[in-house]
Amino acid sequence: MKTEKTWKLSSVLAAMKAEPLTNRAEADLTGCYISDLLSDVLAHASHGMLWITIQTHRNVISCATTKDIGAVLFVCGRKPDPGVVAEADAEGIVLLSTKLAAYEAAGKLWESGLR
Amino acid sequence: MIATIQKDTGVRLAAVLPDAADGRRSRIPEPGPELTVSAVMAHNAVAIKLGYSTITMTMPEGPSTETGTTAGKPPKVSVAQMLVYELRVRDAMTQPPVTGAPGDSLRTIQNLMKTHRISGVPILQNGAPVGLVSIEDIINALDQGHVNDPAERWMTRNIVTLRDHFSLVRAVAEFDRHGFGRFPVVNSSGALVGVLTRGDITACLMQKLEKRAEEAAAREAALFSAQTGDLERDKPMVLQTEVKSGDYESAGKISQHMRQILRARGVDPVIRRRAAIIAYEAEMNMIIHSIGGDLSVAISPGKVIIEAVDRGPGIENVDLAMQEGWSTAGPLARELGFGAGMGLPNIKKCSDQFEIHSEMSVGTRLHCEVLLSQAAPLPKPEVPL
């Protein structure tokens, strides 16, 4: 069984030019998954991952908690409604937003060693 | 009928249902004190007119805002009013119907009525109703000494039937319009499938109200025991919720609730996530594709059973639906990121036991089990990293 390698979210935050939206802004990341299809995330993402998406509605939180996703990064400057942020706070999910597009954000993550 | 539901706060709720047919008042079994008022309905007065019978619910002591979950936000429509729109004739009708043949003697029909304690018998020819013998027809025949005549000579011929998919509110209107005591109920091909009386409607409503109350009580109990942690770790538990078509906003609650309970019970996170995915995807499927249904999660020490039962329209081709990437989701669902065509395949992948049964215009029943005690989890889907 392979041992799980994790990265601190705080160590890659600046590279992604991401701003935390939730009170909590730290998580142990196990990897990253990019998708705007929730079922795809439910099927293929793993727990502890950073999920990059442009979807900002509240089902993102349900989906993230179902999979024990570590943090969600909204790209292209998108931000969810305050109600969604509150729900994420209650569930202990970190939400972030960046002006970068998904491709750029992922590139920065890769450069930062999250691989 | 009188049902009284008591809560320890002293708030009382009574439903009085005078029986339309004969004015008798019967008593339905009193639900136990475990039924809470907030569970039953969180408003103080409900009145629906059911032709001659009226359901009235009153809460004599205090306003309803003290009853918990929906405090401060009185619903516009009562639970019973919603039910009468949601429920179909087929949900309330007596089935299978007791029927006679055109050649049966009125004496035979009368015996049928006595045996089954009914007051009307549809007469069938080749499966379709051609007439109806009511107790009045029998009395008329008896009066004139014709009780051994065949039914076809005395039956009412121009009968009005109800379709099985009609809403109960429409059925109530038909009772008012025609003044009949009962309606034969037919399906899309005109075959007789049941008989509906006003009494059937009130009985069905009371039963559903009671079920709603029990579900809500179970939800509260589950929440409570999730909060009290592992004290009740081995207690079997059932969570149930009604799923409404297109209700994306309240999706995921039951799945979240279940995860809390499983976490409190120390279930392996991998297994926990599999159960959560099943419950969430099953709920989303009903929200996206069905006209509404019920989702239930039964947690026992050994396994979690997740059942999703909807009222239609049904899956035309289950084999296609099981294929990854196949989806019939509409534009709104797709915009929200659903409709990837992975729901059912993913549910199956996460289940230790998976059954799906679907019938067009009847609905879909999904039954999934996840074993909690197994040592090795199922192989997880490939993770592209």
User: For residue B60, what are the domain limits?
Assistant: 2-78
Q: Angle B254-B85-B183 (CA atoms, 0-180°, nearest 5)?
A: 130
* Residue B212, in any domain of the structure: no
Q: Are residues B53 and B167 in the same domain?
A: no
Q: Are residues B190 and B259 in the same domain?
A: no
* Residue A1, in any domain of the structure: no
| 3-class state of residue B261 by DSSP | helix
Instruction: State whether the Cα torsion B59-B61-B65-B70 is positive or negative.
Output: negative
Q: Do B338 and A67 touch (CB under 8 A)?
A: no
Residues of chain A with pLDDT under 70: 1-4
Residues of chain B with pLDDT under 50: 1-75, 230, 375-378, 383-385
Q: Are residues B340 and B284 in the same domain?
A: yes
* Residue B381, in any domain of the structure: no
For residue B274, which amino acid is it? R
pLDDT score at B374: 55
* Residue B382, in any domain of the structure: no
Cα separations (Å) of A62 from A96, B18, B172, B178, B179?
A: 16, 45, 41, 50, 51
User: For residue A96, what are the domain limits?
Assistant: 7-111
Q: Are residues B257 and B305 in the same domain?
A: yes
Q: Do A62 and B280 touch (CB under 8 A)?
A: yes
* Residue B384, in any domain of the structure: no
For B234-261, letters b (16+ CB in 10 Å) and e give eeebbbbbebbeeebeebbbbbbbbbeb
Q: Are residues B112 and B161 in the same domain?
A: yes
pLDDT score at B349: 93
**Which value does ipTM take for this structure?**
0.78
Partners of A39 on chain B (C-beta within 8 Å) are: 281, 284, 338-343, 346
What distance in Å separates residue B228's CA from the closest CA in chain A? 18
pLDDT score at B77: 60
Q: Are residues B145 and B255 in the same domain?
A: no
Q: Do A39 and B341 touch (CB under 8 A)?
A: yes
pLDDT score at B227: 64
Last residue of a domain, one of B199, B218, B243: B199
Q: Among all residues of chain B, which has the CA nearest to that of A46?
A: B383
Q: What is the total count of domains within chain B?
A: 3
Cα separation, A20 vs A5, in Å, equals: 23
Q: Do B342 and A39 touch (CB under 8 A)?
A: yes
Q: Decide if A40 touches B, using CB distance below 8 A.
A: yes
Last residue of a domain, one of B184, B199, B214: B199
Any idea how long chain A is?
A: 115
Q: Do A15 and A112 contact (CB within 8 A), yes or no?
A: yes
Q: Are residues B182 and B117 in the same domain?
A: yes
* Residue B55, in any domain of the structure: yes
Q: Are residues B358 and B238 in the same domain?
A: yes
**CATH number of the domain residue A94 falls in:** 3.40.1390.20
Q: What is the total count of domains within chain A?
A: 1
What distance in Å separates residue A42's CA from the closest CA in chain B? 7
Comparing CA positions, the residue from B300, B256, B298, B251 lying closest to residue B276 is B256
Q: Are residues B234 and B341 in the same domain?
A: yes
Q: Do B342 and A47 touch (CB under 8 A)?
A: no
Q: Among all residues of chain A, which has the CA nearest to that of B279?
A: A66
* Residue B205, in any domain of the structure: no
Q: Do B255 and A67 touch (CB under 8 A)?
A: no
pLDDT score at B332: 83
pLDDT score at B178: 87
Q: Do B255 and A66 touch (CB under 8 A)?
A: yes
Q: Decide if A4 touches B, using CB distance below 8 A.
A: no
Q: Do A31 and B280 touch (CB under 8 A)?
A: no
What distance in Å separates residue A24's CA from the closest CA in chain B? 20
Contacts with B, A 53-72, CB within 8 Å: 53, 55, 57-63, 65-68
Q: Do B172 and B125 contact (CB within 8 A), yes or no?
A: no
* Residue B87, in any domain of the structure: no
**CATH number of the domain residue B99 falls in:** 3.10.580.10
Q: Are residues B349 and B250 in the same domain?
A: yes
pLDDT tens, position by position, B213-266 = 888 888 887 777 666 654 556 778 899 999 999 888 888 888 988 998 898 888
* Residue B377, in any domain of the structure: no
pTM here is: 0.51
Cα separation, A43 vs B320, in Å, equals: 18
Q: Are residues B257 and B361 in the same domain?
A: yes
Q: β-pairing, A71-74 with A49-53?
A: parallel
